[in-house]
Structure 1
Amino acid sequence: MGSSKTVLITGGNKGIGFETARQLGKLGFTILIGSRDASRGQEATAKLMTEKIDAKAITLDVTNLDSIQSAVKQIDEQYGSLDVLINNAGISLDGGVSPSQLELINLKRTYETNVFGMFSVTKAMLPLIKKSPAGRIVNLSSGLASLTLNSDPESEFYGLNLLAYMSSKTAVNALTVLFSKELSTTSIKINSADPGFTSTDLNGHSGYRSVEQGASIVVKLATLANDGPTGGFFDENGVVPW
């Protein structure tokens, strides 16, 4: 068992997840890359190891409870606890259609990963996080989750109306608030991160922010001091309105 802090990043083999892994690895964290596809996870960890980062691939499909339980067992056996959980895995299936044109199956699939998957991983990993002296949970959200901004005609992304993706991230924010209430008497801090419109596979690389910029708030929330906030929604400039 190493003395360095452990961090599990779901969907950590690419995009913001991978860049977060790189930045936390440079800070001395032991990186556990959660990836649905084992070979992609191995590729990602091999890349990190060339940068002298302590990284390990863990096969983890957030929509599969057996896969989640097996990841818990692996982390428990090898490390005995988990210091940081970054719920980064997410999908977007709206395809640009308006809410009334969205197929129910795509709404369900989006929630399966973005909401139920995040819930399942958080619930399963909590006993390990409770063994950490100062556990941190970061839920990847989006400025598109903000009901305040969604209903403000002056808002930058007011023109976007992607029911499945946007409402799933609103639900993620609700998870953050409700889990933070339950964990308020512990040393665990759980927050939602808005990385901004970052260029990733999720949006066909149409975002104007780099993954380095997108990961900065995630890293900040993963490394909060003991007097840091919990139950909040933040981007790199501060609080984002619910």
Structure 2
Amino acid sequence: MTTTLVTGANKSLGLETTRRLLEAGHTVYAGMRNLDNGEAARELGAVPVQLDVTDQASITRALASLPELDVLVNNAGVLGTSFSTDDLDADAMQQVFDTNVLGIVRVTQAALPLLRRSPSAVIVNVASGVGWPRYLLDPKADEFHVTGVPYASSKAAVIALTVQYAKSLPGMWVNVSDPGYTATEFNGFSGHQSITEGTDATVALALIGPDGPTGEFHSRHGRIDY
């Protein structure tokens, strides 16, 4: 049985990822800041676990409660409160990076002892095409119209840290996914993709075998070339 931890799993992309991995036969621990919000994950058959990616003590307790771990999906993220240079300051950057970037580092570092015991450890970090300069500069791309600095730059950092983790962990499969423009609370449900389509890349990367890629960036359409 494959044991998986999904962060930010109480709703949206995290909850759908949890549902699909349960359907694939995984035992899924659904990480979330508040267990009062765990009913949906529990009804699916997941095990809710209190985990705030900005709180090291919370992370340590959550990982200590797991009997084993084969797949880590770093999904938790925040949009932030700054959407232009007019409302941008260092505090706005710090808030977003604390969850979207440092949160991944905190959880991954805490998970490594368990992952190293797995014969086929997999890490999937959920980023965004908004963190990809080529898309931000392409007027035909959905991402072109995004003006906020913190979220885009945090997701760019997630892509880079994924590559570095992949290089440093040759015995594991470490990749990064782009959900695409998916209808979620982040965009007022304006995205043209369904929540299931938005988890296609993440789920596919979570299910890869020993012959799968590492250090790659994937959308639901396949590999995004660096």
In the superposition, the TM-score normalised over structure 2's length comes to 0.95
Partner in structure 1 of residue 150 of structure 2: 164
Query: Which residue, 55, 78, 83 being the options, matches 2:70?
Result: 83
Shift of 1:45: 2.9
Q: Helix, strand or coil: the match of 1:158? A: helix
Among the aligned pairs, what percent are the same residue?
40
Cα-to-partner distance string for 1:143-164 (whole Å, 9 max, x where unaligned)? 1110122233443321212100
Cα distance in 2, alignment partners of residues 207 and 155 from structure 1: 13
Correspondence for 1:211 = 195
Who is 2:85 aligned against? 99
- Aligned AA for 1:228? G
Q: Equivalents in 1 of 2:73, 2:221: separation in Å? A: 20
Instruction: Say which is worse superposed, 204-213 or 130-139, in terms of deviation.
Output: 204-213
Question: Which segments of 5 or more consecutive residues in structure 1 lack a partner in the other structure?
Answer: 50-54
Which letter maps to 1:25?
L
Whether the 8 Å CA contact 1:232–1:239 is kept in 2: the answer is yes
Give the secondary-structure state (helix, strand or coil) at the position aligned to 1:91: coil
The counterpart of 2:35, out of the listed 35, 38, 41, is 38
Q: Is the 8 A contact 2:42 2:48 kept in 1?
A: no
Name the count of aligned residue pairs: 226
Whole-angstrom CA distance in 2 between matches of 1:104 and 1:241: 31
- 1:105-120 superposed matches below 5 A: 105-120=91-106
- Give the whole-Å Cα distance in 1 for the aligned partners of 2:29 and 2:178: 22
Distance 2:186 2:144 in 1: 19
Runs of at least 5 residues in structure 2 that lack an aligned partner in the other structure: none
- Partner Cα separation in structure 1 for residue 194 and residue 25 of structure 2: 23
Question: 1:105-152: CA deviations, max 9, x gaps?
Answer: 111100000000111101110111111110110000101110122233
CA contact (8 A) 2:75 2:125 kept: yes
| CA distance in structure 1 between the aligned counterparts of 2:140 and 2:41, rounded to whole angstroms | 42
Structure 2: distance between partners of 1:119 and 1:231: 16
How far the C-alpha of 1:103 sits from its partner, in A, is 2.8
Aligned residue in 1 for 2:209: 225
Query: Which stretch shifts more, 86-95 or 117-126?
Result: 86-95
